[in-house]
Structure 1
Amino acid sequence: MTDPDEIEEIMARVHRLELRAKRLVKETFAGDYHSSFKGQGLDFDEFREYQHGDEIRFIDWNVTARLGTPFIRKFREERELSAIIAVDLSASMNYGSVRLSKREMAAEIAALIAFSARDNGDKVGLLLFADEPLLYLPPAKGTKHILRCIREILATPSPAGAVNFPAATKVMMKAIRQKSLLFLLSDFIGADFTKSLATLSQRHDLVALRLFDPIEQDLPAVGKVTLIDPETGYERVVNTSNSNVRMGFSKLSRRYREGIEKTFKRYDIDHAALASNEDPFKVLHGLFQRRAKRKQS
């Protein structure tokens, strides 16, 4: 059970994230979100008299026959969506060597997405998972619901064991029946996620956000260190002063990243990589702008 001091710190963090996210959303991010993620269909709005250039397929022949002049049906975009934020809370997400841990960064990203969705009239849902699904909050509206989502990302304990993407995918496919926006936040370490991505991308509008710590890509030269796998407990002493060791580590890391990128591209999944020492707003801003341009072309 989280003690009172930890609860107080978590709530203070949630409040800081709320203030920051609201400011960024108000200044820029809400527009990015709106232009990037369209509604799932069209709602009938009204009839109006046909004008030159209107599409013939929208002519309502019953109204036209009754009034003796062509009338068309006008539609408006069905704006409301459900945005589901799925967050990997396996032990490796607790690592952080710089500004934030990957879990803390996930909470910051979730706050930006959730408040953007709220300002566009969309519902927000949350799924937390690790070696098994941990928590599912169905899509709902309101600031209170969003703050609970952020709090759960920060406070839910991380169990031991590797992340289980298939189990999380099973829950999402069963619980989320309607096509939704699905933001998947993970470091994508230590698990085969290929089939899960393929399954989720077929039903939902999937956006994959890979979170990483800079040290996970390039080891600093700091002498002998003990590296511990947080999900298996495996330990190994590594001499980081050895340039061959650092070079080998960088090569393995690069190959792993290239494999992830290849998977995202194979299933046409919008994606971005976010380092824990950078401002996620800038990365998401770029991702949403690229997505909006592609949707318009």
Structure 2
Amino acid sequence: METSEIIKKVRKVEIKTRGLSQNIFAGQYHSAFKGRGMAFSEVREYQYGDDVRDIDWNVTARFHHPYVKVFEEERELTVMLLVDVSGSLDFGTIHQTKRDMVTEIAATLAFSAIQNNDKIGVIFFSDKIEKYILPKKGRKHILYIIRELLDFKPQSRRTDVGMAVSYLTRMMKRRCTAFLLSDFYTRDDFYKEMQIANSKHDMIAIQVYDQRAKMLPDIGLMKVRDAETGHEMIIDTSSAKFRHAHTAYWLEREEDLRRLFAMSNVDWTSIATNEDFAKALMLLFKKRA
């Protein structure tokens, strides 16, 4: 992609997603994602009912009167985006590809993060770690992230979600809020990795899918190609039995995902490429507030 074209696309994504984060998510994001703990604020004189474990013995000894430490919520977060860049994300049939929507969602979350003075970092993954962007603050950093989201070329087209989640657990020493963005077209069972990651971090999963993956249109014979393996085959979409089996398989996969996230205590949402992702994110934020 030409540099001038990239710049135009970055600017277009910035205008849309920054506006969404400012006008829609300003308060919701803050209340949905709390700070990582309690930070020391000041000392004051001991009052009846205070926890004796909060007494500051050094200050107490100096003034010969009990003083306690006062703590407040540590608001600043580190936000990590785990972005699936495998081949299946290039698929799209109605309004946009799954990759386009993932880019817009990631950019919106990034702008929401910096408006709350949070650091934002990214892990691009396929069936291996493709790129790691260190968490930083600022508009310049986010524009760099958007550019990478738009123009990044992965080395592999396959997917391994569990590997990416394990990498996050190893890399991030301090607690962070992590958004996992994927279509979850993966054959691996990543329940154990999600459970471990969510015990250390605050994990949120966002599935992006295309409506045609759920319900096939009746258009007769059609050649389909697996974007990750390259395998091609002819399917007969005029067969009602085949279309029903396809939908049943999709619903079964969705139920497996729902069960996995429920068992690992991870909040998640599922968004089609022809849907308004802002509404889905708002509902997710409200549920967490």
Q: Same fold (TM over 0.5)?
A: yes
Q: Which of 192, 217, 220 is the equivalent residue of 2:217?
A: 220
What TM-score results when the alignment is normalised by the length of structure 2? 0.92
Q: Contact 1:162–1:191 (CA<8 Å) still a contact in 2? A: no
TM-aligned CA deviation for residue 8 of structure 1: 2.8
TM-score (norm 1): 0.89
The C-alpha deviation readout for 1:99-152, integer Å capped at 9, x for no partner, is 221111111011111111101111000110113211101111111111111111
3-state SS of 1:190 partner? coil
Find the counterpart in structure 2 of residue 286 from structure 1: 283
Residues 268 and 255 (structure 1), Cα distance of their counterparts in 2 relative to 1, 3 Å cut:
same
1:25 is aligned to 2:18: no
| Partner residue in 1 for 2:188 | 192
Query: How big is the shift at 1:169?
Result: 3.5
1:60 offset after TM fit, Å? 4.2
Change (3 A) 1:176 1:61: closer
Among residues 151, 158, 164, which one is paired with 1:162 in the alignment? 158
Match of residue 116, structure 2, among 98, 117, 120: 120
Percent identical pairs in the alignment equals 38
Distance in 2 (CA, whole Å) between partners of 1:199 and 1:76 is 28
Moved more, 209-218 or 234-243: 234-243
Partner of 1:295: none
**Is 1:261 matched up with 2:258?**
yes
Q: Which runs of 5+ in 2 are unaligned?
A: none
> How far does residue 229 in structure 1 lie from its aligned partner after superposition?
0.7
Instruction: Verify the 8 A CA contact 1:106 1:185 in the aligned structure 2.
Output: yes
Tell me if structure 1 keeps the 8 A contact 2:83–2:123: yes
Report if aligned partners of 1:90, 1:231 keep a CA contact under 8 Å in 2: yes
User: Structure 1 residues 56 and 160 mapped into 2: Cα distance closer, same or farther (>3 Å)?
Assistant: closer
Tell me the amino acid that sits aligned with residue 260 of structure 2: T
The answer for unaligned runs of 5 or more in structure 1 is 293-297
Q: Paired residue for 1:87?
A: 83
Letter in 2 for 1:24: L
Aligned equivalents of 1:159, 1:67: Cα separation in 2: 64
Q: Is it true that 1:249 corresponds to 2:240 in the alignment?
A: no
* RMSD of Structure 2 on Structure 1 (CA): 2.0
Q: Secondary structure at the match of 1:21?
A: helix
